[in-house]
Amino acid sequence: MHPGPEKVLETYSVLETSWILNGKGEEGDKKFILSPYKKIMAKRPNVVMIVADQWRFDSVGYSGNTAVKTPNIDFLSEEGVSFSNAYCQNPVCVPSRSSFLTGWYPHTNGFRTMHHLMDDDQPNILKTLKQSGYHVYWGGRNDFLKISADSSKYFSTRDDQYAEFFARYTKQKSKKNDGDLKKTEYEYSHYKGIREDINNIDAKQIRNAMEFLEEGKYGEEPFCIYLALSLPHPPYEIEKGWFDLIDKEEIPDPVRLTEEEWERKPSIIRGIHDNQKLYNWSDEELKQMKHVYYAMGTKLDYHIGELVNVLKEKELYDDTIFVFFSDHGDYTGDYELAEKNQNTFEDLLTRVPLVIKPARSTELKPRKTDALVELIDVQATIHDLLNIQPQHTQFGKSLKNVLAGSDKHRDVVFSEGGRLEGETHCMDAGHSPANEYWARTTEQEKMPQHTKAMMIRDEKYKFVYRLYEEDEFYDMRADPLEKNNQIQNPEFQQLIVKYKERMLRHFFETGDVVPFKQDKRF
């Protein structure tokens, strides 16, 4: 049952003076830690992988944002390594998840739309772990596998309350037809504010996973718990108890652009901006949206803490690899925009939280690192930590050396989206103006708006190649909010050529995969 506001406030008031889950009674600096084990554990480490939906990097506590309250994620970041420069490979759900679960880039095998999911004969870390003797518990949404696929290849235990939840949600929405609303009433902010009638499906999914642990349903097998959750995905709505935990005075002002700055931005977000009309909102109204969004994250953080407590109570925590990250970010009122977009790559959309707390058998230097990381590196890291060799080509790079203390990993990171002229099957379009997503998806019906595009980013600069319209270039140190597109600045032209060449090399290296399994005639 969902805790009432009084219980929530009581729990988090304790966190003002001590960390939940710490168990050490101190917050001293952590030193370089070597494994206490001299020989390999008889039982392989367990894995817990929690994927939040649409949680941007600057909305977790370890990012330094003093307005947010995520003590449990922050605790895990102190116990392991937290990443300040982790990037998704596509800024919307299905392509991002298909990418980080396979180790493929979205372009590698065509998983770059919301409507094209994986077949059951294609590789995936959940399938690999099950084949390697792990009891795979899959809780939450399915945003990567076709409905026609044999999903049993991917799990030993499945908790799919989302199927029933979304069926109910779709049925409720279908009762509204276009005639129910006058055009002047169409509203695309996704903002609902403080509500008390919210379906707490994430809490249910996490508590079912807790029950799985408490009852030892994994038996003698090592387990992998994969939880694909929904918070803090819009609609922006939260109960008052969670809302009151956020200090509104600390919430940053919304990012707004001048008319001149908007002229150099991609046509698709100019169109979404015009359709959503959040430019009519005051700073305080946009900050209220962010306030609700932060509180949604606090709510999920609380339930993550419940799961970690069970791992500790069952004496499983130390021997469990715990990974938390998000599939992509969210505009949350910045640039006077709501939710996300599929072929633009602001850090608000592509930079995500990532925390890895390894098992105690792993060499570890706990800290926050600025190493450049891609989400496809997560599956490569888990494989490496478990000494599992996947039987398919994958492009992730293990973070094992980063966990041990190195801050060097990748020289650049990539993200991509959009479509070619004529690829109408790659649109999310077809919504009527009465649909909440129309403001975004109607722009995908147009060119150059929905042009295929790719981002390359290093520590200093970001370049975006846009196939059918003007490219983008940002000096990320001088302009971290990406307001001023410098693509025409003569000062950066040699750098832009370098990034184009690096992008070409990237396509050569990752453009396809050859199956390991040969034809029987050979």
The pLDDT of residue 14: 34
Q: How far apart are CA 349 and CA 201, in angstroms?
A: 24
Q: How far apart are CA 322 and CA 318, in angstroms?
A: 10
Task: Tell how strand 223-228 and strand 46-52 pair up.
Answer: parallel
Find where tokens 């990748």 sit. Answer: 410
The residues with which 453 forms a beta bridge, in sequence order, are 417, 466
Instruction: Give the residue among 257, 255, 329 at the shortest CA–CA distance from 485.
Output: 257
Q: How far apart are CA 448 and CA 283, in angstroms?
A: 31
Residues with Cβ within 8 Å of residue 396, at least 6 apart in sequence: 103, 374, 376, 377, 378, 379, 380, 381
Instruction: Give the residue among 352, 376, 412 at the shortest CA–CA distance from 86.
Output: 352
The pLDDT of residue 174: 47
320-341 mean pLDDT: 99
Q: How far apart are CA 202 and CA 305, in angstroms?
A: 13
Lowest mean pLDDT across 9-18, 28-37, 306-315: 28-37
pLDDT tens readout for residues 249-294 = 999 999 999 999 999 999 999 999 999 999 999 999 999 999 999 9
Domains of the chain (ranges; CATH) run 43-253+282-409 (3.40.720.10)
- Which pLDDT band holds residue 160 (cuts at 50, 70, 90)? confident
Question: What proportion of the chain, given as a percentage, has pLDDT over 70?
Answer: 87
Q: How far apart are CA 34 and CA 40, in angstroms?
A: 14
- Which pLDDT band holds residue 166 (cuts at 50, 70, 90)? low
Residues with Cβ within 8 Å of residue 88, at least 6 apart in sequence: 96, 99, 100, 326, 327, 328, 329, 349, 350, 352, 374, 375, 415
Tell me how many degrees the CA angle 253-441-262 measures, rounded to the nearest 5.
40
* DSSP 8-state class, residue 184: G
Strands in 453-457's sheet, in edge-to-edge order, are: 413-417, 453-457, 461-466, 472-475
The pLDDT of residue 169: 54
Q: How far apart are CA 478 and CA 361, in angstroms?
A: 42
309-325 mean pLDDT: 98
pLDDT tens readout for residues 355-365 = 999 999 999 99
- Which pLDDT band holds residue 369 (cuts at 50, 70, 90)? very high
User: Cβ(230)–Cβ(166) under 8 Å?
Assistant: no
- Which pLDDT band holds residue 518 (cuts at 50, 70, 90)? confident
Find where tokens 């058998």 sit. Answer: 361
- Which pLDDT band holds residue 41 (cuts at 50, 70, 90)? very low
- In this predicted model, which residue has the larger pLDDT, 232 or 163? 232
pLDDT tens readout for residues 73-105 = 999 999 999 999 999 999 999 999 999 999 999
For the stretch 175-183, contacts whose Cβ atoms lie closer than 8 Å and that sit 24 or more positions apart, written own/partner, are: 176/434, 177/434, 178/432, 178/433, 178/434, 180/434, 181/434, 183/433
- Strand runs labelled E in 346-436: 351-357, 367-374, 413-417
40-63 mean pLDDT: 91
The CA distances from residue 272 to 191, 197, 338, 482, in Å, are: 16, 30, 9, 17
Lowest mean pLDDT across 43-57, 385-399, 423-437: 423-437
Burial class (CB in 10 A: 0-12, 13-18, 19+), 241: buried
Lowest mean pLDDT across 48-57, 107-116, 354-363: 107-116
> In the chain, count of helices (H) and strands (E)?
15, 14
The CA distances from residue 193 to 19, 176, 204, 225, in Å, are: 29, 21, 22, 32
Q: How far apart are CA 409 and CA 396, in angstroms?
A: 11
* DSSP 8-state class, residue 518: P
* DSSP 8-state class, residue 121: T
* Average pLDDT along the chain: 89
Residues with Cβ within 8 Å of residue 22, at least 6 apart in sequence: 75
The pLDDT of residue 117: 86
pLDDT(459) > 70: yes
The pLDDT of residue 126: 96
The pLDDT of residue 316: 98
Q: What is the H or E stretch that residue 453 is in?
A: strand 453-457
Tell me how many degrees the CA angle 412-415-417 measures, rounded to the nearest 5.
155
pLDDT(214) > 90: yes
* Cα 129–chain centre separation: 21
User: Cβ(139)–Cβ(159) under 8 Å?
Assistant: yes
User: Cβ(199)–Cβ(165) under 8 Å?
Assistant: yes
- Which pLDDT band holds residue 322 (cuts at 50, 70, 90)? very high
User: Cβ(371)–Cβ(407) under 8 Å?
Assistant: yes
